[in-house]
Amino acid sequence: MTLEAEFRTRAFEDVRRALFERREIALLDVREEDPHAQNHPLFAANLPLSKLELDVPLRLPRRSVPIVVFDDGEGLAERAARRFIELGYTDVSLLAGGLRGWAEAGGELFRDVNVPSKAFGELVESERHTPSMEAAHVKALLDANANVVVFDARRYDEFQTMNIPGSVSVPGAELVLRARQLAPDPTTQIIINCAGRTRSIIGTQSLINAGVPNPVAALRNGTIGWTLAGQALDHGSSRRFDPVSDGALRVAAAADARAVADRAEVGRTTRDEARRWADEAVRTIYRFDVRTPQEYAASHVPGFRSAPGGQLVQETDMFAPVRGARVILADSDGVRANMTASWLAQMNVEVYVIDGLTAADFTEEGATPVVRNAVTAPDADEISPQELAALLKATGTVVVDFTASANFVKQHIPGAWWALRAQLADALPKLPAAERYVVTCGTSALARFAAPELAALTGKPVQVLTGGTSAWIAAGLPVESGATHLASPRIDRYRRPYEGTDNAREAMNAYLEWEYGLVAQLARDGTHGFHVI
| 376 alpha-carbon distance from chain centroid | 24
Q: Give me the mean pLDDT over the 457-471 stretch.
A: 98
Q: In degrees rounded to 5, what are phi and psi of residue 190? A: -100, 130
Distance (Å) of CA 523 to CA 30, 108, 297, 485, 527 = 26, 10, 41, 45, 9
497-510: pLDDT as tens digits: 877 667 788 888 88
Nearest to 322 by CA among 28, 10, 11, 8: 28
Does the structure show a pLDDT above 70 at 94?
yes
**pTM of the predicted model, to two decimals?**
0.95
CB 34 within 8 A of CB 65: no
Does the structure show a pLDDT above 60 at 1?
no
Angle between helices 336-346 and 175-182 (to 10 degrees): 130
Residues 10, 16, 19, 23, CA torsion sign:
negative
Give residue 5's pLDDT: 53
Q: SS3 letters for 248-263? A: HHHHHHHHHHHHHHHH
Instruction: Please list the residues that pair with 8 across neighbouring strands.
Output: 93
Average pLDDT, the chain: 96
Cite the beta strand spans of 390-520 per DSSP E.
397-401, 417-418, 436-440, 462-465
Nearest to 326 by CA among 276, 254, 371, 370: 276
Give residue 4's pLDDT: 47
Helices (H), 421-517: 424-427, 445-458, 468-474, 505-516
Q: Give me the mean pLDDT over the 322-326 stretch.
A: 98
Q: In degrees rounded to 5, what are phi and psi of residue 274? A: -60, -40
Residue 404 to residue 416: CA distance in whole angstroms: 14
Domains of the chain: 3-113 (3.40.250.10), 119-239 (3.40.250.10), 264-360 (3.40.250.10), 382-474 (3.40.250.10)
183-211: pLDDT as tens digits: 999 999 999 999 999 999 999 999 999 99
235-255: pLDDT as tens digits: 999 999 988 888 999 999 999
Virtual CA dihedral for 501, 506, 507, 508, nearest 10 degrees?
A: 60
Nearest to 348 by CA among 386, 385, 390, 320: 320
Nearest to 43 by CA among 58, 31, 28: 28
285-317: pLDDT as tens digits: 999 999 999 999 999 999 999 999 999 999 999
Instruction: Please list the residues that pair with 70 across neighbouring strands.
Output: 29
Does the structure show a pLDDT above 50 at 146?
yes
- Residue 325, C-beta contacts closer than 8 angstroms, at least 6 positions apart: 24, 283, 284, 285, 286, 349, 350
Give residue 371's pLDDT: 81
Distance (Å) of CA 308 to CA 220, 348, 370 = 24, 19, 18
Q: Give me the mean pLDDT over the 131-143 stretch.
A: 97
Long-range contacts of 382-387 (CB under 8 A, 24+ apart): 382/463, 382/464, 382/465, 382/466, 383/438, 383/463, 383/464, 383/465, 383/466, 384/465, 384/466, 384/471, 385/465, 385/466, 385/467, 385/471, 385/472, 385/475, 385/477, 386/475, 386/477
Q: Give me the mean pLDDT over the 53-68 stretch.
A: 96
What kind and span of H or E run contains 408? helix 405-410
- C-beta atoms surrounding 435 within 10 Å: 12
| 402 alpha-carbon distance from chain centroid | 20
Residue 496 to residue 113: CA distance in whole angstroms: 9
5-51: pLDDT as tens digits: 588 999 999 999 999 999 999 999 999 999 999 999 999 999 999 99
Does the structure show a pLDDT above 50 at 2?
no
Share of the chain above pLDDT 70, in %: 99
Distance (Å) of CA 448 to CA 378, 402, 415 = 6, 10, 20
330-346: pLDDT as tens digits: 999 999 999 999 999 99
CA angle 458, 492, 503 (to 5 degrees): 145
Nearest to 27 by CA among 437, 492, 507, 14: 14
Does the structure show a pLDDT above 90 at 433?
yes
Give residue 372's pLDDT: 78
Q: What is the DSSP letter of 107?
A: -
More confident residue, 512 or 381: 381
CB 65 within 8 A of CB 91: yes
Q: Give me the mean pLDDT over the 324-332 stretch.
A: 98
Three-class DSSP category at 333: coil
What kind and span of H or E run contains 156? helix 156-161
Residue 201 to residue 189: CA distance in whole angstroms: 16
Q: What is the DSSP letter of 400?
A: E
Instruction: Please list the residues that pair with 132 across neighbouring strands.
Output: 218
Sequence letter at residue 448: R
Q: SS3 letters for 241-299? A: CCCCCCHHHHHHHHHHHHHHHHHCCCEEECHHHHHHHHHHCCCCEEEEECCCHHHHHHC
Is 215 exposed, middle or buried, given 0-12, 13-18 or 19+ CB atoms closer than 10 A? middle
